[in-house]
Amino acid sequence: MPHILVLGGTTEASLLAQRLAEARLPATLSYAGRVARLRSQPVPVRVGGFGGVAGLTDHLRRERVTHLVDATHPFAATMSGNAIAACAATGVPLLALTRPAWQPEQGDDWRHMPDIPAAVAALAGPPRRVMLAIGRMHLDAFAAQPQHSYLLRLVDPPEVAPPLPDCHVIVDRGPFTVAGDTALMRAHGIDLIVSKNAGGSGAEAKLAAARALGLPVMMIGRPPLPDRAEVHSVDEVLRWLHGADLGV
């Protein structure tokens, strides 16, 4: 009997969950438990860490997982590394469902940054009005550049005041729209956007808005990951699953 474990937290993971439910394939969608409200899903959901590689290895064995699909965000490097190690330890087949990195288009003004510390260092200089669209987990790093006026977009209201003396918080979850992001940047007089190269459609509206307004974007590159089998579409995941002996 197959049991597919999907590591989620992205638009693509939700789309995959929908297709697995339609195909009546036994699946569980897993979240880290980062935010207060999770999108409802058509398959059973589990929330919270596994407890590192050992915890995930035990989970795969205890839950008799037959296939693991890592559909986490490209910046969820720890989770993805743990999945590779746990699948190597247990022999459970692993497939990553990822989004191609965004590429700059005609009219874009991107400054490529290798990682978040490099983006923070590049913010040295006179005060600017910065849209920091990277979520909550890395805000502390930007306290090193307190001179800017920051527009923060978070999924949940912050429990503690962000470590930035001049910041305005918007509580909103994607997917976002170009019109909405353009209006937001205009209303706040934004002159620089900081973004992770998440890929996919849920977060890309801000890039089109920046292009329309002629604003520069600091684009933070993805953390390196060990090699693993990787596809970019839900259809390819389903072909992989049907290619394997699902016994259904």
Report if residue 49 touches ligand NAP, rule: CB under 6 A: yes
**225 vs 65: CA distance, rounded Å:** 23
The residue nearest ligand NAP at its CB is 49
Residue whose C-alpha is closest to residue 198's, from 72, 102, 83, 66: 102
Q: Which of 15, 19, 21, 32 binds ligand NAP (CB under 6 A)?
A: 32
Nearest C-alpha neighbor of 80 from the set 107, 98, 55: 98
Nearest approach, Cβ of residue 226 and ligand NAP (Å): 13
Can you tell me which of 12, 17, 73, 130 binds ligand NAP, judged by CB under 6 A? 73
Which CB atom, from 87 or from 132, has the smaller least distance to ligand 3Y8? 132
Alpha-carbon span 63 to 74, nearest angstrom: 26
Question: Max alpha carbon distance in the chain (Å)?
Answer: 63
Q: How far apart are CA 164 and CA 24, in angstroms?
A: 48
Is 129 within 8 Å of 188 (Cβ atoms)? yes
Q: Does 34 bind ligand NAP (CB under 6 A)?
A: yes
Binding site for ligand 3Y8 (CB under 6 A): 9-11, 14, 31-35, 38-39, 73, 133-138, 153-156, 173-176, 196, 198, 200, 202-203, 206
Contact 97, 121 (CB under 8 A): no
Site string for ligand NAP, 78-117 (x = CB under 6 A): xx--x-----------------------------------
Tell me how far the alpha carbon of residue 242 is from its chain's centroid: 27
Is residue 28 at the binding interface for ligand NAP, with CB under 6 A as the rule?
Answer: no
Using the contact rule CB under 6 A, the part of the chain among 49-57, 113-121, 207-215, 225-233 near ligand NAP is 49-57
